[in-house]
Amino acid sequence: MAGSSNGKHKIVIVGGGAAGLELATGLGQTLGKKGLAEIVLLDASMTHIWKPLLHEVAAGTLGESEEVDYLAQAHRNHFRFRLGKMEGLDRNKKEIYVSSTLSDDGEELIPKRIFNYDTLVMSVGSVSNTFNIKGVTEHCMFLDTLSEAFKFQKRLIECYMKSYIGKQNPGDKPLSIAIVGAGATGIELSAQLHEVTDVLAIYGLKEPSNVKLTIIEAATQLLPALPKKLATATQQQLLKLGIDLKLGCRVVEVTKEGIQTLDGEMIPADLKVWAAGIKAPDWMKQLDGLETNHLNQLIVDQTLKTSDDNIFAIGDCAACPWPGHHVNVPPRAQAAHQQASALHTSITNRLKGGASVTYVYHDYGSLVSLGKYTTVGNLMGYLMGSVSIGGFIAKVVYLSLYKMHQIAIHGYFRTVMLTLSNLFRHSAYKKIKLH
């Protein structure tokens, strides 16, 4: 069984997020480098960024050095990168169909293509779940991809300038930003935007009192993944920053002017961000009969295999059982990291005629960063149980999660060099992007 013209076993990974890029890098180092397999990574973007950092991109506080160029990564780690978006699958022929790539002007740059495979790994991540609420798609911005985060950042600066520089009396009406969803993304974005407001005030673009930040959440508690004690501490910190919290408010419609809630309140907003839930992309429901759940996620067993013996799924697009719990493995960065490691071992064993390993999710807790203000969370372990942490210790642990991802794709030495480089860069350059 060979999927490439050179007779090598062909492994195609669709999606270069945290799980997909870590898997492609690892397989490239162990199989591609030795000529034991051909590894191909397919993604619709040219660059990768760790998804938990997208709120910093949106606020303009993250440097471009954090982006990873897929082509350079592939060259260094003995796999191939192909630009494109998957649009279909033929399981009998072992082929995936990739749509054409267009320029910003609509010109076709790369025509439609077909890739064959021996082993296929779906790692396309997730997108925002709008729950079919009227007006969300038309009037809200999203933070699902790097391009959407850059789009938000550009729109943010435009709104700042329009509401301050473009008016004779800029203090008449504050710039209003509403974030729907009080999960980690919504909370972290709100704190980051508050920090940006302070920096812009230093630059003379805006007074902090002239920006109104609102978080709207259908549940009665912030951060359901965290213990109530930590959620309460986070809530107190946000209130201290002057962020308006509207808990127990269900959104029924979004308009150009603002957000309509079930109780009849209209919350005005110049900028509206939707961070109220996730699902796998809609096209996942039509992958040649592969079983999906109500969130379009591919249903996998504990070896991360779908109903097709040659197709696996990892990351947010996979519905993986969590033994001992009534829910699937949660869509977190730590889960993606663990799944990439487990599937790396399984695929390596598979090529040797061995068995797949059983993936068991280990929950090491949850952390939420409030930018320069604080970090809160809980750590979990076999010896200490659940321990609540905050402040400097939590910030260090939060940073270590990202460093684990960097080590997986860059190695220890390169990660240390990148970290030192960023420290020097941050001391010499502006704190936020203004373009």
Residues 208 and 183 placed together within one structural domain of the fold: yes
Residues 343 and 374 placed together within one structural domain of the fold: no
Residues 242 and 212 placed together within one structural domain of the fold: yes
pLDDT digits (tens, 9 = 90+) for 395-426: 777 778 888 899 999 998 988 888 787 766 65
Please report which confidence band the pLDDT of residue 285 belongs to, taking 50, 70 and 90 as the band edges: very high
Residue 293 lies in a domain: yes
The boundaries of the domain holding residue 31 are 9-126+280-351
How many structural domains comprise the chain?
A: 3
Residue 412 lies in a domain: yes
Helices of type H across 141-214: 146-164, 184-203
CA quadruple 318, 321, 327, 330: dihedral sign: negative
Is the pLDDT at 134 greater than 90? The verdict is: yes
Tell me the average pLDDT across 36-57. Answer: 93
Residue 232 CA to residue 373 CA, distance in Å, equals 16
Q: Given this model, what pLDDT does residue 415 score? A: 86
Please report which confidence band the pLDDT of residue 379 belongs to, taking 50, 70 and 90 as the band edges: low
Residue 413 CA to residue 132 CA, distance in Å, equals 47
Q: Given this model, what pLDDT does residue 309 score? A: 96
How would you classify the pairing of strands 211-217 and 258-261? unpaired
* C-alpha triplet 353, 356, 362: angle, nearest 5°: 155
Is the pLDDT at 2 greater than 50? The verdict is: no
Q: Give first-to-last CA distance, the chain, whole Å.
A: 51
pTM: 0.89
Please report which confidence band the pLDDT of residue 365 belongs to, taking 50, 70 and 90 as the band edges: confident
CATH assignment of the domain containing 334: 3.50.50.60
Residues 109 and 181 placed together within one structural domain of the fold: no
Residue 412 tokens read as: 């220890």
Residues 259 and 288 placed together within one structural domain of the fold: no
Is the pLDDT at 128 greater than 80? The verdict is: yes
Residues 143 and 269 placed together within one structural domain of the fold: yes
Residue 358 lies in a domain: no
Residues 289 and 313 placed together within one structural domain of the fold: yes
User: Which of 257, 274, 291 lies at the terminal end of a domain, its last residue?
Assistant: 274
Share of the chain above pLDDT 90, in %: 59
Q: Given this model, what pLDDT does residue 166 score? A: 52
Residue 191 tokens read as: 């704190």
User: Which of 216, 239, 274 lies at the terminal end of a domain, its last residue?
Assistant: 274
Lowest mean pLDDT among 113-127, 151-165, 286-300, 396-410: 151-165
Residues 170 and 230 placed together within one structural domain of the fold: yes
Residues 266 and 148 placed together within one structural domain of the fold: yes
Residue 32 tokens read as: 């591609």
Residue 435 lies in a domain: no
Q: Of 20-34, 101-115, 225-239, 397-411, which one has max mean pLDDT?
A: 20-34
List of residues 6+ apart from 98 with CB closer than 8 A: 42, 82, 84, 85, 86, 87, 112, 113, 114, 115
Residue 140 lies in a domain: yes
Segment holding 69, helix H or strand E: strand 68-69
Q: Which amino acid is at 155?
A: R
Q: Given this model, what pLDDT does residue 383 score? A: 43
Is the pLDDT at 110 greater than 60? The verdict is: yes
Residue 244 lies in a domain: yes
Residue 169 CA to residue 189 CA, distance in Å, equals 28
Residues 149 and 252 placed together within one structural domain of the fold: yes
pLDDT digits (tens, 9 = 90+) for 297-307: 999 999 999 99
Check if the beta carbon of residue 130 is closer than 8 Å to that of residue 137. yes
Residue 360 lies in a domain: no
Q: Given this model, what pLDDT does residue 434 score? A: 39
Residue 433 CA to residue 416 CA, distance in Å, equals 25
Is the pLDDT at 60 greater than 80? The verdict is: no
User: Which of 351, 381, 407 lies at the terminal end of a domain, its last residue?
Assistant: 351
Residue 314 CA to residue 318 CA, distance in Å, equals 5
Please report which confidence band the pLDDT of residue 211 belongs to, taking 50, 70 and 90 as the band edges: confident
Residue 166 lies in a domain: yes
Lowest mean pLDDT among 42-56, 244-258, 351-365, 419-433: 419-433
Which of 89, 113, 109 shows the shortest CA–CA distance to 99? 113
Q: Given this model, what pLDDT does residue 429 score? A: 46
Residues 155 and 179 placed together within one structural domain of the fold: yes
Residue 49 CA to residue 165 CA, distance in Å, equals 33
Check if the beta carbon of residue 189 is closer than 8 Å to that of residue 55. yes
Residues 270 and 153 placed together within one structural domain of the fold: yes
Tell me the average pLDDT across 191-216. Answer: 71
Higher pLDDT, 79 or 50: 79
* C-alpha triplet 399, 221, 126: angle, nearest 5°: 55
